[in-house]
Chains A and B, each alone.
Chain A
Amino acid sequence: MAAAETYPEDLKYHPEHDWARLEGDEAMLGITWFAQDALGELVYFEAPQPGATVAKDSSYGEVESVKAVSDVIAPLSGEILEVNQTVVDAPETVNDDPYGEGWLLRIRLSDPSEVQALLDVDAYKQLLQDS
């Protein structure tokens, strides 16, 4: 069952509809409710490998629905510690729970100061309203 539209207060957002949950020098990454809703039910996550690096504002993978494919943009730079195997095996988990079970990557930040460039929830909601 698809989740209801929400944008948690405790996350940082990237304008390409990605989120980051900061935990010390690590972060969990995922896509926002808006992104999964625009795509529809996900059927495929082309995931990177643990150990690889992701660069802020660059694509690190793809998510696909029946009708569309989208790059996933890294909101922050770092080394991949973990790829969410649950989403690789059952991509629709992202639709069900985009901020919880449907996270995509866990990374170790290479430059924590990048966080300052991300949007807080109000700024992201404003961006959605203006687009």
Chain B
Amino acid sequence: MQTLSRTPLHERHVAAGARLVPFAGWEMPIQYEGVIAEHRAVRSDCGVFDVSHMGEIHVEGPTAHELLQSLLSNDLDRLEDGDAQYTLLTNESGGIIDDLIAYRVGSHHYLLVVNAGNRRAAYDWVKEREIRGSEVRDASDEYALLAVQGPRAIERLGLPKARQFTHAMGELDGIEVMVNRTGYTGEKGCELMCPAEDGVALWDAVVGRGAVPCGLGARDTLRLEVCYPLHGSDITPETDAISAGLAWTCALDQDFTGAPALRRVKQEGPTRRLVAFVMEEKAIPRAGMEILGLDQSAGGEVTSGTHSPMLEKGIGLGYVPTDRSTPGSELTIDVRGRERRATVVPKPIYKPEEETP
């Protein structure tokens, strides 16, 4: 039997009565009080997620920038010290090895935060391509990482306002943390990184400030409402960024791995696209369900689906032929043998409320 890894916060999750499930080799909380209550806490106030299972890879040295610019899809030249960027690690055919956030710590130092399930693949890919003057190091076990998300997250943490996709060192109730203005919920907030041994103290501080503990269940419903793709489901090494609607993360004027293949897809136009849809009838779409009446070579499958707590309807993502991908297109989904109607909608499916001035 494979043993599951545990984050530094495992005891806290058990004590809080979380339901723990295996996820990407980790034993993780899927919910505490309930997915819907946790989801609403993040949309209305503030929630905290233990995401210590995610991977942290340091790339350091005078050629760190050169190495990463040749491997990552987005343009690293746009980053100054203290900036962060959503980007893709792509293979030769333009497929997505992982989607990640690159933090520029210094001109010779980048931090990559990668998906738990891709930690090994992402690390190996970059490490094998290391060049003279750059050093790639998997430091995942050294850190605890907490995502604190919601319209009141920054206020509750007593942190200064800052632009999204920036980072800075800071202190929270005496604990030194890297404060990253990033997240996976569509809400304002941050991700706090600290040494693993400080993880419990940081969790206690954040919960003490009123953040509601949230599990992976709410993390999934929140990201799906705002149409953030999930690697392994919506995007994979076999899907390309253009078809997935992630062209904005691809600096096609740069020569990163997979750029020629992606330029070709962009020039010819993708045959299929990842669309967002909302159910018109009572039904919950699930990953793997067939979208009926489509050319199956162009996809025709739900890649993510759930019940939206905000819309109180079934919502999902899936690949459909380009000519069926415009908002308003009607789809039929095979829900365990029942045909249920859905409509393609613009992304995001749910738009978080703007901050009132």
- Whether B35 pairs with A41 at a CB distance below 8 angstroms is yes
Contact with B along A63-74 (1 / 0, CB 8 A): 011110100000
**Known contacts A66-B306, A69-B284, A69-B286: A41-B34 contact under CB 8 Å:** yes
Contact with A along B152-190 (1 / 0, CB 8 A): 000000000000000000000000000000000000000
How many chain B residues touch A (CB < 8 A): the figure is 16
CB distance from B256 to the nearest CB of A (A): 36
Main secondary structure of the interface of A (DSSP, over half): strand
**Known contacts A66-B221, A66-B306, A69-B286: A41-B30 contact under CB 8 Å:** no
Option from A41, A44, A64, A69 in Cβ contact (under 8 Å) with B36: A41
CB distance from B35 to the nearest CB of A (A): 4
- Whether A66 pairs with B35 at a CB distance below 8 angstroms is yes
- The interface residues of chain B lying within 8 Å CB-to-CB of A64 are 284, 307
- Whether A67 pairs with B30 at a CB distance below 8 angstroms is yes
CB of A81 within 8 Å of the partner chain: no
- The interface residues of chain B lying within 8 Å CB-to-CB of A66 are 35-36, 217, 221, 306-307, 309
- The interface residues of chain A lying within 8 Å CB-to-CB of B217 are 40, 66-67
CB of A2 within 8 Å of the partner chain: yes
How many chain A residues touch B (CB < 8 A): the figure is 12
CB distance from A62 to the nearest CB of B (A): 8
- The interface residues of chain B lying within 8 Å CB-to-CB of A43 are 36, 284, 307, 312
- The interface residues of chain A lying within 8 Å CB-to-CB of B336 are 62, 69
Complex: A43 Cα to B284 Cα, angstroms? 9
Complex: A46 Cα to B217 Cα, angstroms? 22
CB of B120 within 8 Å of the partner chain: no
CB of B344 within 8 Å of the partner chain: no
- Whether B221 pairs with A44 at a CB distance below 8 angstroms is no
**Known contacts A66-B36, A66-B306, A66-B307: A40-B31 contact under CB 8 Å:** yes
Complex: A64 Cα to B289 Cα, angstroms? 15
CB distance from A54 to the nearest CB of B (A): 18
Contact with A along B269-286 (1 / 0, CB 8 A): 000000000000011101
- Whether A67 pairs with B35 at a CB distance below 8 angstroms is yes
CB distance from A59 to the nearest CB of B (A): 11
- The interface residues of chain B lying within 8 Å CB-to-CB of A46 are 282-283
- The interface residues of chain A lying within 8 Å CB-to-CB of B284 are 43-44, 64, 69
A-B contact pairs, 27 of them (CB 8 A): A2-B34, A40-B31, A40-B34, A40-B217, A41-B34, A41-B36, A43-B36, A43-B284, A43-B307, A43-B312, A44-B282, A44-B307, A46-B282, A46-B283, A62-B336, A64-B284, A64-B307, A65-B307, A66-B35, A66-B36, A66-B217, A66-B221, A66-B306, A67-B35, A67-B217, A67-B306, A69-B336
